[in-house]
Amino acid sequence: MSTVTRSTRASRIAMIGGGLLLLVLAAAPYWAGRADMRLMSEIYLYLSLATLWNLMAGYAGLVSVGQQAYVGFGGYMLFALTIFGGVHPVVAVLLGGVLAALLSIPIATLAFRLKGAYFAIGTWVIAEVFRLSFAQIQALGGGSGSSLPVAIVKEIGAKKAVREANSYWLALGAAVIIIAAVYAFLRSRRGLALTAIRDSETAASGLGIDIWRTKLEVYVVTSAFTAIIGGLIFLQKLRISPDAAFSVNDWTAFVIFIVVIGGIGTLEGPIIGTLLFFLLREVLADFGTTYLLVLGFVAIVVMLKAPKGVWGLIRERYDLELFPLSYRVRTKD
């Protein structure tokens, strides 16, 4: 008789450890300083972007270089909906996600006609169209951008300490929800189909998987969540401009770096990649542009020596899995 299980000892330990870590992190406003909380919030938001990009590129094979379109769109929706619509900033962030989902459908039908490198370039061009379009909107400051009015900022919390704690929790909550959602999705039947697409599209379609529809769903969902993260990013920054909102460097190049060095096509990869990225950034902060040279060098070395990233190396050596996605068959005679 054979039985099928999914959790392993490592994954059970990781779940308990992760739960405890989460409690400690959630309590950060009571033990961490202002600068540390700011840095941690940024880490959570990058972790979210990386997890989303990994789902889209690493699993669905949609290597987009244009997700900054949705980061910027989410940011601008926060400003537009709060300033002109009078809605609460958190509601505006969520609405930005819904609008991004709607917008991503026609964009997908256009961009999906392109394959591989052409898709990558196409998405970048679309993001540039976003940047140029928002630069035309004078009500939002045109090319020079605008700041979030103080009255709206105070809706997050009247006192500075409360505000900072709330926006920290928003960032942490978003990261937890996104990782949990991606994990639950990958564990489901549809997630199994997406993983099959990651490995061979030809075989996947031959086994009854509708590739186009699966990719569309992934693209729409990642775009919506990316816009929500974009809203949260600019809720922290309190100021937006087209160049900052639609920056290919900040919202896509760094994210790709994180996913590639961490390990593309795994859930653990983006987490490790985010930690490594911020470690490098903090260590090299004083060296100016040398920092970018080092990042590039690290990326090249990892791609050549460990194409499956740091997590790929660990996983191969120790057969570890922190998120129990695999099935394990135990045969008893």
Residue 121 contacts other proteins per CB under 8 A: no
CA distance 43 to 272: 11
Q: In which region does residue 238 sit, left (phi positive, over 0), alpha (psi from -120 to 50) or beta (all else)?
A: left
Residue 91 contacts other proteins per CB under 8 A: no
Stretch that binds other proteins, among 134-142, 161-169, 196-204, 293-301 (CB under 8 A): 196-204
Among 138, 144, 202, 289, binds other proteins (CB under 8 A): 202
Residue 4 contacts other proteins per CB under 8 A: yes
Residue 144 contacts other proteins per CB under 8 A: no
Residue 199 contacts other proteins per CB under 8 A: yes
Distance from the Cα of residue 43 to its chain's centroid: 11
CA distance 317 to 263: 14
Residue 27 contacts other proteins per CB under 8 A: no
Among 198, 238, 292, 306, binds other proteins (CB under 8 A): 198
CA distance 261 to 268: 11
Q: Considering beta carbons, is residue 105 or 203 the nearer one to other proteins?
A: 203
Among 8, 146, 195, 236, binds other proteins (CB under 8 A): 195
Residue 317 contacts other proteins per CB under 8 A: no
Q: Considering beta carbons, is residue 19 or 206 the nearer one to other proteins?
A: 206
Distance from first CA to last CA of the chain, Å, rounded?
A: 6
Residue 196 contacts other proteins per CB under 8 A: yes
Q: Considering beta carbons, is residue 45 or 259 the nearer one to other proteins?
A: 259
- Between strands 2-5 and 146-147, the pairing is unpaired
Residue 2 contacts other proteins per CB under 8 A: yes
On the CB side of 55, CA atoms within 13 Å amount to 32
Q: Considering beta carbons, is residue 131 or 315 the nearer one to other proteins?
A: 315
Residue 109 contacts other proteins per CB under 8 A: no
x/- track of binding to other proteins for residues 208-237 (CB under 8 A): xxxx--------------------------
Place of tokens 């999705």: 185
Q: In which region does residue 116 sit, left (phi positive, over 0), alpha (psi from -120 to 50) or beta (all else)?
A: left
CA distance 263 to 270: 7
Residue 9 contacts other proteins per CB under 8 A: no
Residue 166 contacts other proteins per CB under 8 A: no
- Residue 200's identity, in one-letter code, is S
Report H helices in the chain.
9-26, 28-31, 34-53, 68-83, 89-111, 116-135, 150-153, 160-187, 189-199, 201-206, 211-237, 242-245, 248, 254-262, 268-283, 290-305, 309-318
Q: What are phi and psi of 327, to 5 degrees?
A: -105, 140
Among 35, 206, 285, 286, binds other proteins (CB under 8 A): 206
As measured in angstroms, the least distance from the Cβ of 119 to other proteins is 20
Q: Considering beta carbons, is residue 193 or 280 the nearer one to other proteins?
A: 193
CA distance 304 to 299: 9
Size, binding site for other proteins by CB under 8 A: 26
User: Where does this chain bind other proteins (CB under 8 A)?
Assistant: 2, 4, 189, 192-193, 195-196, 198-200, 202-211, 265, 326-329, 331
